[in-house]
Amino acid sequence: MRERAGRLLAAVTAALAFCAFVAWAPAAAADPVLSISAPGTLYVAEDGRGAAVPFEVRLGVDASVAHAVELVVDASALPGTVRAEDTGQCARAADVFTCSWPSVAGPTVVRPFLLTGSTGVRPGAAAPIALTARAADATDVSGWTDAVVGRPVLVERTHATVRSLAPGADVEVTPGVANHGDLVAGQGIGVRIAGTSGLRLAAAYSNCVYKREPSAAAYCVFDSPVAPAAAYEFSAPLRFTSASDLMYGQVSYDAWVTGGEDPWAEEDPAAFSVRGTGPALTLRPVTDSGFAPDGGWVDVRTTAGADYQALGGEVAGVPGETVPLAVGVRNGGPGEMAVEGGTGSFRVSPPPGAQLLPPTEGAGCARSGSSYVCPLPEVFPAGASHTVVFGIRITSRSGAPASASAGSGPGGVTVLGLESFPPRDGSPSNDTAPLTLRVLTTSPSPTPSPPASSPPPTTPPSGSMAPTGASRLLPWLIAASAAALGLGAVTVAMTRRPRSPH
């Protein structure tokens, strides 16, 4: 698993309890009320074996503004076990750091120092850090953090791609986690599981809390210790049901160490309000094989396809005139294309006797000779159209009559799909559409020409998608936060790696 910086939040109400990050506040005090949040355990790297870890404290003020606020971080027990590198954010006297503000309203985050293990100190050595917050008009509040040299390093199982899944069918995923670090995850672990839109997760297990529809996400917790070199898998699979229009989807999961990381940094725990009604999942020992830092994801590919239909048109005008024309692509379905970075592109080439002028601002089109190549959106639902408005300058001097056509020749719109995520278009004959030119002797009224043989576009001329509901974007680079499910919330932001199709 990746290097993570924990961010302690104030206590949250959820179905299950975690104690990785701890928030301290007085039981009763006059307004304003101070609170401080910090990791209950902060794992730091051995000397020379990893980057320094920031010690992050969140200072909170409820309901009002506190004045003459100080946060005192007493690191005097660290020397000889953990080395503190001053960040300059707080005043330092020996190994006591004092952070001061004239007033504080709402949460304030401070990182007074960075921590690494002292030279020669072995994994498992620990030292406390004492915290005290005070203000001129609030009751003092105190807490502490244990800085521990070494850490559990959780990595996830690698999975094969699920291919040729029938639309609407179920796919089962059995997560697996191994500890490749040098310390035991003594309080257990948690796992955050998520599916892209179009994959619905069944709320089946009582030690998991699930996000409300339409998102497919859950946080599951296990109190079993995970020792170094140990590997486990879930005792039962997670079942996802695919939508009828799903083409490409992904299930991802990430594990965190209970007691050392905060899984709520990026998400609202209140959104996870559905408790599983079935038996509790457990961890089943397995061989430590097939686990890697870039594991924890399953690509899902169904048999659904998308009929990409090129939208061309006709331009009519006199030589020297510039006529606007909307061209693009329609997704005739039945599948929805959704791929981060775009679902393909299309090339627009001018007809003989005309010149393409730069398209709508923000369309993202790139010039290629006399043509342009324009990207399709990341989410392209069935029935939607994506169009871009070009100016077509008529350069022909042939004086062709209004009834004559200069012919499409090389002019037209051509759909360019993705090799890695093909639309599986069963009707390639409509992947091209002509752009034709009629040279007139007199100028017609200046009204834009609609795309040929197409319904009115469902997207604005700027090329941005019209609202079509929930996104089904494939996050090949997913930012997911690992999660804890309850009081004393625990958080860490996790980054999903880029994936190559396979």
Looking at residue 320, which CATH number applies to its domain? 2.60.40.290
User: Could you give the CA distance from residue 112 to residue 81 in angstroms, rounded to a whole number?
Assistant: 18
366 has pLDDT over 60: yes
**419 part of a folded domain:** yes
117 has pLDDT over 70: yes
Examine the domain organization and report whether 145 and 193 are in the same domain. no
Which two three-digit tokens encode residue 27? 């039981």
User: Could you give the CA distance from residue 82 to residue 122 in angstroms, rounded to a whole number?
Assistant: 11
Examine the domain organization and report whether 341 and 296 are in the same domain. no
Q: Which of 161-170, 406-415, 462-471 ranks highest by mean pLDDT?
A: 161-170
User: Could you give the CA distance from residue 327 to residue 376 in angstroms, rounded to a whole number?
Assistant: 12
Q: Alpha carbon of 207 to those of 186, 252, 371: distances in Å? A: 18, 19, 57
255 has pLDDT over 60: yes
Q: Alpha carbon of 39 to those of 55, 57, 79, 223, 234: distances in Å? A: 9, 8, 20, 18, 27
Examine the domain organization and report whether 206 and 237 are in the same domain. yes
When pLDDT is cut at 50, 70 and 90, the band that residue 63 belongs to is confident
Domain boundary among 123, 149, 175: 149
**In sequence order, which residues have a C-beta less than 8 Å from that of residue 502 and are 6 or more positions away?**
161, 299
User: Could you give the CA distance from residue 432 to residue 347 in angstroms, rounded to a whole number?
Assistant: 9
460 has pLDDT over 50: no
H or E element, residue 208: strand 208-210
Residue pair 217/192 in contact by the 8 Å Cβ criterion: yes
Examine the domain organization and report whether 346 and 419 are in the same domain. yes
222 has pLDDT over 70: yes
Domain boundary among 439, 454, 485: 439
Q: Span 264-276, mean pLDDT?
A: 83
Examine the domain organization and report whether 383 and 337 are in the same domain. yes
**446 part of a folded domain:** no
Examine the domain organization and report whether 33 and 138 are in the same domain. yes
Q: Span 326-351, mean pLDDT?
A: 95
469 has pLDDT over 70: no
**283 part of a folded domain:** yes
The 8-class DSSP code of residue 45 comes to: P
The 8-class DSSP code of residue 270 comes to: G
User: Could you give the CA distance from residue 91 to residue 75 in angstroms, rounded to a whole number?
Assistant: 13
Question: Which of 134-148, 344-358, 453-467 shows the lowest mean pLDDT across its residues?
Answer: 453-467
pLDDT of residue 261: 73
The pTM score is 0.73
What's the chain's Rg over C-alpha atoms? 29
Q: Span 388-393, mean pLDDT?
A: 96
Examine the domain organization and report whether 399 and 264 are in the same domain. no
Examine the domain organization and report whether 165 and 267 are in the same domain. yes
When pLDDT is cut at 50, 70 and 90, the band that residue 396 belongs to is confident
The 8-class DSSP code of residue 310 comes to: E
Which two three-digit tokens encode residue 59? 């200072």
Q: Span 125-139, mean pLDDT?
A: 96
260 has pLDDT over 80: no
Examine the domain organization and report whether 144 and 38 are in the same domain. yes
Question: Residue 180 belongs to a domain with what CATH number?
Answer: 2.60.40
The whole domain housing 82 covers 21-149
Count the domains in the chain.
Answer: 3
**13 part of a folded domain:** no
Angle of CA points 137, 138, 141, to nearest 5°: 150
48 has pLDDT over 90: no
151 has pLDDT over 70: yes
**269 part of a folded domain:** yes
Examine the domain organization and report whether 39 and 88 are in the same domain. yes
pLDDT of residue 466: 38
Domain boundary among 117, 134, 149: 149
When pLDDT is cut at 50, 70 and 90, the band that residue 331 belongs to is very high
**444 part of a folded domain:** no
Examine the domain organization and report whether 128 and 33 are in the same domain. yes
Q: Identify the CA nearest to 157 among candidates 288, 248, 4.
A: 288
Question: Which of 97-106, 112-121, 176-185, 260-269 shows the lowest mean pLDDT across its residues?
Answer: 260-269
